[in-house]
């Protein structure tokens, strides 16, 4: 796909079933809305079903709401056990720069929400997925540093944005290692990924800091894309015929704005030894293993 090409024509998805996590707002909501409009059956996998139902009422097409808290492994297991066959899983839900906290499973919130929950969900659902897993990451992954000996920030001084970046790098490593394992297993399933560049969503609203929330909100509104355009990278990764381990981002300067195209990754995100080590650690922490 040429860098200068503008892509916004999501193909028809009739007869296909998608799960989109975090689909009650922001990029997840827009991704689900477009998929449903294009004929897909879409499961809105959301932490708060009331918000999910409100989101569903604003969509056209076949939409259902199911509860899923990706930061809670019990919820992940329950959802995976009952959701049924799907074509595509879009791992979209995420948190950004939230205050330090541990989840019910004892994991730091960014790690649990942005990586471990989706790691467990994808592996639990793989036997029922017919097409692909889509991993939504961020440009922040370029600055991410993963400390396998201190994933929960127990020994280091907690830095919210550093924790976010590390969790997004974890997602990139998961993408690469998942595709490696699928290929080795002879599976026709694929893993793809995307990042939305700078998009005007409300993800900075949970930082706990009015200043950070204000800067994030207005910074993205002044320099970023609309949610409709920002979601196109996710939609491209979820619907277009691209090879496994393809990563999609905006084609503009610094990948901050633009139209979907295949983009590169940092050396840290392409480190196979780091990907395998993180995978092994993620299996140990979640108790979920590659099923194929």
Q: Residue 139 in contact with residue 197, Cβ under 8 Å? A: yes
Element (H, E) at 132: strand 129-136
Given the residues 100, 158, 164, 236, select the one marked as catalytic.
164
In 3D space, the residue among 270, 248, 278 whose CA is nearest the CA of residue 132 turns out to be: 248
Q: Mapping DSSP to helix (H, G, I), strand (E, B) and coil, where does residue 135 land?
A: strand
Q: Residue 131 in contact with residue 188, Cβ under 8 Å? A: no
Q: Residue 165 in contact with residue 144, Cβ under 8 Å? A: yes
Element (H, E) at 247: strand 247-250
> Angle formed by the axes of helices 160-184 and 272-286, to 10°?
100
**DSSP structural state of residue 109:** H
CA 69 – CA 84 distance, rounded (Å):
17
Q: Is 100 a catalytic residue?
A: no
Q: What is the CA radius of gyration of the chain?
A: 17
CA 52 – CA 50 distance, rounded (Å):
5
Q: Mapping DSSP to helix (H, G, I), strand (E, B) and coil, where does residue 58 land?
A: coil
| CA distances to 18, 103, 251, 267, 283 from 247, in Å | 19, 29, 12, 14, 24
Residue numbers annotated as active site: 164
């Amino acid at each position: 796909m040429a860098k200068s090409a503008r892509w916004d024509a999501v193909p028809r998805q009739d007869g296909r079933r998608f799960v989109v996590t975090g689909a009650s707002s922001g990029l997840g909501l827009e991704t689900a809305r477009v998929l449903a409009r294009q004929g897909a059956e879409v499961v809105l996998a959301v932490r708060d079903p009331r918000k999910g139902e409100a989101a569903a009422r604003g969509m056209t097409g076949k939409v259902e709401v199911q509860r899923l808290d990706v930061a809670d492994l019990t919820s992940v297991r329950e959802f995976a056990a009952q959701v049924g066959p799907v074509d595509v899983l879009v791992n979209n839900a995420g948190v950004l720069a939230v205050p330090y906290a541990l989840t019910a499973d004892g994991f730091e919130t960014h790690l649990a929400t942005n990586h471990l929950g989706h790691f467990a969900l994808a592996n639990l659902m793989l036997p029922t997925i017919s097409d692909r897993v889509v991993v939504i990451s961020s440009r922040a992954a370029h600055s991410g540093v993963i400390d396998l000996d201190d994933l929960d920030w127990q020994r280091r001084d907690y830095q919210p944005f550093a924790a976010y970046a590390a969790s997004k790098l974890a997602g990139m490593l998961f993408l690469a290692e998942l595709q490696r394992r699928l290929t080795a297993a002879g599976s026709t399933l694929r893993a793809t990924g995307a990042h939305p560049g700078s998009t005007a969503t409300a993800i900075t609203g949970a930082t706990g800091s009015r200043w950070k929330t204000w800067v994030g909100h207005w910074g993205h509104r002044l320099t970023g894309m609309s949610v409709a355009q920002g979601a196109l990278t996710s939609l491209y990764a979820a619907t277009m015929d691209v090879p496994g381990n393809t990563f999609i981002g905006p084609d503009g300067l610094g990948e901050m704005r633009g139209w979907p195209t295949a983009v590169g990754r940092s050396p840290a995100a392409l480190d196979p030894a780091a990907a395998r080590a993180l995978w092994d650690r993620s299996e140990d922490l979640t108790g979920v293993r590659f099923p194929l």
